[in-house]
Amino acid sequence: MLPEIEQYFRLEKLPHMWCPGCGNGIILHSLVKAIDKLCLDQDRTTIVSGIGCAARASGYLDFDTLHTTHGRALAFATGVKFAKPELNVFVLTGDGDCTAIGGNHFIHAARRNINLTTIVFNNNIYGMTGGQYSPMTPNSCRATTSPYGNLERPFNLTDLAIAAGATFVARTTTYHAKQLTDLIIEGYKNKGFSLIEVITHCPTSFGRQNKMGTPADMLKWQRDHGISAMRYENLTPEERADKFIVGVLHKTEAPEYTTEYQKLLEKLG
């Protein structure tokens, strides 16, 4: 770890609890670098997380950190941000946490366009409970609760966020760690609800059940399947089938909720 980012970690809590090769540590690394580049005041920054592997991230970071209940990170974070809009609030959540049990909170946080920077650690599986399928598990993939292959269809989370009203939507992977830092910076700068979906690898639960190889193999899979919009445009439909775009997918401007409420207070005050 670079000495300049050590200050953002609760070093005494490391090494973290994630499995060998888990991508969550890479995401956290990118987040911290983004916070460092943004020069955010550590005392005025809050990290909110839900439940699951990804949600444990909050405990390793040296900020005000709120490890909440299953799926509710965005609802807690909405309370923090609305009560004290001057705080920088990042939400760290997993694909199960955010899109299943927390799905309702997700669409409504996006709809309100409340100024939260949300990073979804998408490892396509419930990791902490031992590998059950999530709403982001691809069709036909194996999980402990889809032993014959997943019959359900996964969400397209970025499309969902756009439809729900998020004003900054991006996707990348743990392989694209540097890009992730840039996207978090851009997401933070957006005054509204920002979603950054990070496709990360869970070698223990998803990788093993779906014969994805080593953690390094899973990173290479991300490298080979996550491509820029420009490259994607030049592919034939057949070539696109197993590819996805990494980078900014949507950016727009809309009234931000806490700002609008502040205007109301000023009008009445």
Partner 1 sequence: MSTEPRLVQGNEACAEGAIYAGMRFYAGYPITPSTEIAEILARRLPQVGGKFLQMEDEIASMAAIIGGSLTGAKVMTATSGPGFSLKQENIGYACMAEIPCVIANVQRLGPSTGVATAPAQGDVMQARWGTHGDHPIIALTPSSVKEAFELTVRAFNLAEQFRVPVILLMDEVVGHMREKVTLPQPGDLPVVDRVKPTCSRENYYPYKADSDKTPPMACFGEGYRYHVTGLFHDESGFATEKPEIIDWQLKRLHEKINQHLDEIITYSSEETADADLVVIAYGGTARAVSRAVKLARQEGHKVGVFRPQTIWPFPEAAIGELAASGKKLLVAEMNYGQLLLEVQRVAAGRCEVHSCLQSNGELTLPDVILTKIREVYEHAPGN
Partner 2 sequence: MTGSESVTELSAVPKLPQTKVVINQAWCKKCGICIAFCNKTVLAFGEGNRVEVAQPEKCVGCGICENFCPDYAITLEVEEA
246 near partner 2, judged by CB under 8 A: yes
Work out how close the CB of 134 gets to partner 2 at its nearest, in angstroms, rounded to a whole number: 20
250 near partner 2, judged by CB under 8 A: no
Choose, by CB under 8 A, the member of 2, 43, 230, 237 that binds partner 1: 43
**Distance between CA atoms of residues 69 and 92, nearest Å:** 13
180 near partner 2, judged by CB under 8 A: yes
20 near partner 2, judged by CB under 8 A: yes
Backbone angles phi, psi at 195, to 5 degrees: -115, 130
Q: Which of residues 136-165 bind partner 2 (CB under 8 A)?
A: none
**Partner in contact with 24, chosen from partner 2, partner 1, none, beta carbon below 5 to 8 Å by kind:** partner 2
- Residue 93 half-sphere exposure toward CB, CA atoms < 13 A: 33
**Partner in contact with 259, chosen from partner 2, partner 1, none, beta carbon below 5 to 8 Å by kind:** none
Choose, by CB under 8 A, the member of 176, 202, 206, 209 that binds partner 2: 176
Q: Which stretch binds partner 1 (CB under 8 A): 55-63, 155-163, 164-172, 186-194?
A: 55-63
Q: Which stretch binds partner 2 (CB under 8 A): 11-19, 97-105, 137-145, 186-194?
A: 11-19
Residues that bind partner 1 (CB under 8 A): 13, 42-44, 46, 48, 58-59, 62-70, 72, 75-84, 86-87, 104-105, 108, 261, 264-265, 268-269
